[in-house]
Amino acid sequence: MTYPLTEYGFSRADVGLHNWRERPWNAWAFERVGELVPAAQVIGAPSTALPRAIDAGLLDQPFGPSRPGESLAEYLEISQTDHLLLSRNGRIIAEWHAPRAQAARPHLIFSVTKSVTALLLGVLEDNGALDVSRAMADYIPETAQGAFGDATVRDLLDMRVSLDFREDYLNRDGDYARYRRAMLWNPREDGDRQETLAQMLFTACKGAGPHGGPFHYQSPNSDVLGFLVERVSGKSYADLLSEVFWQPLGCDHGLMTVDAAGNPRGAGGLCARGEDLMRLGQLILDGGAVGGRQLISERWLADIAENGDEAAWNSGNYHDWIPGGRYRSQWYMLPRPSRAVMAIGIHGQWLCADPASGAVIVKLSSQAFPQDDTFDNANLILMERLLGIAGRGG
């Protein structure tokens, strides 16, 4: 039995693990991940909608990275955006949704999840349950058999682990394909090994150099950090996220994808509504407090904004994308003196919070390709321009 998805141009039976991250099926699937991949519920405590003071002219402003004279609204459509929200001082001043997108549904945010995972670890460090200078094997002894055991938690947080792993999103027969199968995001075929995400990553091999070297973006770091969240807290990732952020912030429900053993995808499995990511971004601007309650320390947030090793970044594999940038605790930074922090995921997911302009930006998308140089560069320009608009007050 199947049913037509008329607005998308295909039927439900057309979507499966073999194609759900590809266009056009991803426009539907990214808001319905729980139908395709096992997922734990992140229980929220829905509150009223965020306040709005919409500036109707913002979407008509020229943007133009794709073609001269192109408006912001035209670019959002061209770049396969599902939702865009821009706030200034806690009030949404611009909002755009694709015609078939549903803002009430949690949207897969891919590697924006990494930044959320690090915030959870910040809470655990604030509570004295974690010391990020210690080795991973001190907390998860099983990691001693592979690359992660003698790396510090800080090495993982800053993507400075020596790991023999190739981050190739379109790979169909190597490390990344095996990784996708272990997390249950890709179908298994005859002859494929049966393994969980933890079984694969705990035995991963170390790279040629020492830990603590150049920035090297590799998602397994963040999945191991997701395991650490659960090991240190004694709670599931989804339950801890609900307890420390989602319910106090008044967020709606969310989802966290899990593997066959219930391991969370701390690197990319969180599904969240755009407004709820706005709440999280505003929490960062408000110094980690909401309603008089300190959810995460100002110290942890200041460390993200102020630190990050430029030398490690400049010798790393993303240095030509953000020249002079930094990376700290799973967040990206623009060159100094900017204190804006950015969480970024493949297929066009963005969360940006900037204390200078008081702006928070959320962009959720279903881009055809995981990485697209044209859109990746244009989206970075978009973030900087929107921060400038917010900073000018219009």
- Evaluate whether residue 309 is within a structural domain: no
Which band of pLDDT confidence, cut at 50, 70 and 90, is reported for residue 61?
Answer: confident
Share of the chain above pLDDT 90, in %: 88
111 is catalytic: yes
Cis peptide before 24 (omega within 30 of 0): yes
Question: Residues with Cβ < 8 Å from 352, sequence gap 6 or more?
Answer: 281, 340, 341, 342, 343, 359, 360, 361, 383, 386, 387
Range of the domain at 17: 1-30
Q: What is the pLDDT of residue 175?
A: 87
- Average pLDDT taken over every residue of the chain: 95
- Evaluate whether residue 62 is within a structural domain: no
- Evaluate whether residue 5 is within a structural domain: yes
Question: Residues with Cβ < 8 Å from 102, sequence gap 6 or more?
Answer: 31
Question: Residues with Cβ < 8 Å from 177, sequence gap 6 or more?
Answer: 171, 186
- Evaluate whether residue 8 is within a structural domain: yes
Which band of pLDDT confidence, cut at 50, 70 and 90, is reported for residue 62?
Answer: confident
Say which of 79, 87, 111, 219 is annotated catalytic.
Answer: 111
Helix (H, G, I), strand (E, B) or coil at 182: helix
Q: What is the pLDDT of residue 394?
A: 53
- Evaluate whether residue 4 is within a structural domain: yes
CA distance 181 to 192: 9
- Evaluate whether residue 143 is within a structural domain: no
H/E segment holding residue 123: helix 112-126
Q: Are the C-beta atoms of 92 and 50 separated by less than 8 Å?
A: yes
Q: What is the pLDDT of residues 8-28, one digit of tens each?
A: 999 999 999 999 999 999 999
- Evaluate whether residue 11 is within a structural domain: yes
Q: What is the DSSP letter of 89?
A: T
b/e per residue 316-355 (b: at least 16 CB within 10 A): beebeebeebbbbbbbbbbeeebbbbbbbbbbbbbbbbbb
- Evaluate whether residue 315 is within a structural domain: no
Structural domains counted in the chain: 1
pTM assigned to the model: 0.97
CA distance 364 to 274: 7
